[in-house]
Amino acid sequence: MNIYDYLERMQNELLYDDLLQIEQKYYSLCSQLAGAEEAKKIEKINLDKLQQLLEIGLTKSIKLAHDYSAKAIYYEYDLDNEWSSHFFICTNYHPLLEQDDDWACDWVEELKGPDIVEFAHIYSENGFDKTEKAVGITLYLVARTVVVFAKASRKVKSKIPICIAFHDQDPIMRIIE
């Protein structure tokens, strides 16, 4: 299975599975593909402060979305740029089933999000998917990013769709649809 197949599965898991199960699944996969030491290194990174920063960013984004009568909030992080991130307030939205994510390019406001420098350093050592080890590490880093974002999204309780993807990811993952 290639990395994109796993990412597609992760989207389905986000809609139907427990967040802890998702994180555990990709920890196990990372251990299998990259080794237990690599998985433990990623697991040890504390994301509590990140979750707080995401909740603050989401709260501001939801207010802006209401001010602009926006249809969705799209959070994008960049694997190749220190895991830097932005919240985009989007004036349009299409559900996942429509398979059209061009709506994410149509935004009216942008807020800087937090960086995850520790993830960026681990990612930069292996790249995206050149080896099995890289696939395992990338998937676990993405899973932890998505899970912490989903936790923050559930805490702030939005009635508009909230989505996440890394730069150039297709399709965009829906957290709240």
Question: DSSP per residue over 34-86, as a string?
Answer: H-HHHHHHHHTS--HHHHHHHHHHHHHHHHHHHHHT-SEEEEEEETTTTTEEE
Nearest alpha carbon to residue 42 among 34, 51, 50 = 34
1-to-17, 75, 142, 145, 171 alpha-carbon distances in Å? 20, 27, 17, 21, 17
Structural domain count, the chain: 1
Average pLDDT, rounded, for the chain: 96
The model's pTM is 0.96
**pLDDT tens digits, residue range 124-175?**
999 999 999 999 999 999 999 999 999 999 999 889 999 999 999 989 999 9
The H-or-E segment that residue 111 falls in is: strand 107-113
Given this model, what pLDDT does residue 38 score? 98
Domain boundaries, position 88? 3-176
Residue type, 116: I
Point out the residues of the chain with pLDDT beneath 70.
Answer: none
